[in-house]
Amino acid sequence: MSDEPLQEPNPAATKRALGGDEPLLEPGPAESRAPVRIDVVTLFPEMFAPLQHSILGRAIEQGLLAVSYLNPRDFTADRHRTVDDYPYGGGPGMVMKAEPIFLAVESVASPESAIILLSPAGRVFSQTVAAELAAHDHLVLICGHYEGVDERVREHLATDELSIGDYVLTGGELAAMVVVDAVARLLPGVLGHAESAGDESHSHGLLEYPQYTRPPTFRGWPVPDRLLSGHHAEIAKWRRRQSLERTAARRPDLMTPDLLAELADDGSKKRSRRRRSTAAPTPVAQGADREVGAAQDDAPVPDAPPPLDARSPDSSSVPGSLA
Ligand code: 4GO
């Protein structure tokens, strides 16, 4: 009954932008890229209210990112604005109809747009995929509901299909929000410092090293000695080592041959100072059975100087990593 041609879809009704098409501010001279546009096709645009807050809200206000919403219901023509129907062949639940989704996407897409269906059957989203998407000018994220979307959306409309992990959600909205967040923080100017997006878990294929802030001893637990030393080369070496050991212990699947070789190296160029047994355990096992951070810090830290780079407790602008 809803196969008749559509009369008056009303994209404006849901394209009402939480952060809209028109940036409030011009991008600054240092960040001259046009805003990345993201159109989200969803029956529930209200679910995206969290994107107005915090870092993403600021990115939208600054015109680095523009997120708009398209409701398939606004692209129906029947009296009941039908967006779902029974599955051919029978079975439980309802399937989202193809036409309202096609019309919604076609109202905004160009041949360059990445049109992404969120689904547990997609390729698994990762930091690498986020970086790939951040290079696009326009993303369209399609959020399914009910038992899923008509297969023709997947076959003839979507250019990509992504899953945020091996679990099933009631709709694609939460997955789409994860994608928006991970992509947005990679856009120039979105995070406080230019390097902020480059140093944390997964950005270089390793988990993040441990982070500490004041006080130097909390409930008797000291900050590792090396971090208080002010010796930047030593600190960098310690952090790299921690990242390697933590990754080997918690995510051995991320350990490439190069990383395993680096881990097997005890990090000291002065072989005479080698502390470990001569029969080296296998790299992964070495990382896996050791408490991260324990073996490196042999010296106690009685009266360490204040951290050189300590920020005042309320000055941090960017939350840390995923680790
Ligand atoms: C995406 C969508 C899980 C994911 C979804 C995921 N569940 N793992 N559910 O990224 C069609 C009906 C898919 C509900 C949707």
Question: Domain map of the chain by residue range?
Answer: 11-184, 202-272
Both tokens of 178, joined, read 């994860």
Which is the closest atom of ligand 1 to the Cα of 125?
A: 10
Ligand 1 atom nearest the C-alpha of 175 is: 10
Q: Whose CA is nearest to atom 10 of ligand 1?
A: 163
User: How far apart, in whole angstroms, are the C-alpha atoms of residue 40 and residue 8?
Assistant: 20
Cα of 88 to ligand 1 centre, how many Å?
Answer: 21
More confident site: 54 or 304:
54
Query: Looking at ligand 1, which atom is closest to the CA of residue 178?
Result: 10
Assess whether the region 11-184 and the region 202-272 belong to the same CATH fold. no
CATH of 202-272, one of 1.10.1270.20, 3.30.230.70, 3.30.1340.30, 2.40.110.10: 1.10.1270.20
Q: What is the reported pLDDT for 277?
A: 40
pLDDT of the residue at 282: 40
Tens digit of each residue's pLDDT (9 = 90 or more) over 107-152: 999 999 999 999 999 999 999 999 999 999 999 999 999 999 999 9
- pLDDT at residue 274 tops 80: no
pLDDT at 18: 43
For residue 105, pLDDT over 60 is answered with yes
Going from the Cα of 101 to the center of ligand 1, the distance in angstroms, rounded, reads: 16
CB of 120 closer than 8 Å to CB of 154: no
Distance CA 12, CA 251 (A): 46
Which percentage of the chain shows pLDDT scores above 70?
71
| Model pLDDT, residue 145 | 93
Higher pLDDT, 181 or 202: 181
Residue 44's Cβ-count burial label (10 Å; 0-12, 13-18, 19+) is: middle
pLDDT value for 305: 42
pLDDT in tens, 83-103: 999 999 999 999 999 999 999
Q: Are 53 and 74 in contact (CB under 8 A)?
A: no
pLDDT tens per residue across span 39-59:
999 999 999 999 999 999 999
pLDDT confidence bin for 207, thresholds 50/70/90: very high
Q: 116 CA distance to ligand 1 centroid (A)?
A: 12
Ligand 1 center–CA 108 separation, angstroms? 23
**In this model, does residue 20 exceed pLDDT 50?**
no
The closest of 321, 47, 36 to 172, measured between CA atoms, is 47
Instruction: Show the tokens assigned to 118.
Output: 């969120």
Q: What is the pLDDT of residue 266?
A: 83
Q: Ligand 1 centroid to 185 CA: how many Å?
A: 23
pTM: 0.77
Mutate to test the pocket of ligand 1, among 84, 96, 164, 169 (most ligand atoms within 8 A of CB): 169
Q: Ligand 1, residue 172: give the atom nearest the CA.
A: 2
- The closest alpha carbon to 211, from 293, 121, 303, 129, belongs to 293
Residue with CA nearest ligand 1 atom 15: 171
- Cα of 161 from ligand 1 centre, angstroms: 10
Residues in the chain: 323
Taking the centre of ligand 1 as the mean of its atom positions, its distance from the CA of residue 123, in whole angstroms, is 12
Pocket residues for ligand 1 (CB within 6 Å)? 118-120, 144-145, 148, 163-165, 167-169, 171-172, 175
- Report which protein residue has its CA nearest ligand 1's atom 11: 148
Peptide bond before residue 215 is cis, with ω within 30 degrees of 0: yes
Q: Which of 169-183, 217-231, 254-268 has the lowest mean pLDDT?
A: 254-268
Residue 173 predicted with pLDDT over 90: yes
Ligand 1 centroid–CA 169 distance in Å is 5
Contacts of 198 (CB under 8 A, 6+ apart): 204
Q: For residue 224, what are the CA distances in angstroms to 218, 294, 313? A: 12, 9, 19
Query: How high does pLDDT run on average in the chain?
Result: 81
In single-letter form, the type of residue at position 236 comes to A
Q: Which of 43, 124, 163 to mutate to test the pocket of ligand 1 (most atoms within 8 A of CB)?
A: 163
d(CA 144, CA 126): 20
Q: Which atom of ligand 1 is nearest to the CA of 167?
A: 8
Give the rounded distance of the alpha carbon of 241 from its chain centre. 25
The count of other CB atoms within 10 Å of the CB of residue 320 is 12
Reading the block at residue 19, the tokens are 């952060």
For residue 169, give the ligand 1 atom closest to its CA.
7
3.40.50.300, 3.90.650.10, 3.30.70.100, 3.40.1280.10: CATH of 11-184: 3.40.1280.10
Atom of ligand 1 nearest to the CA of 165: 8
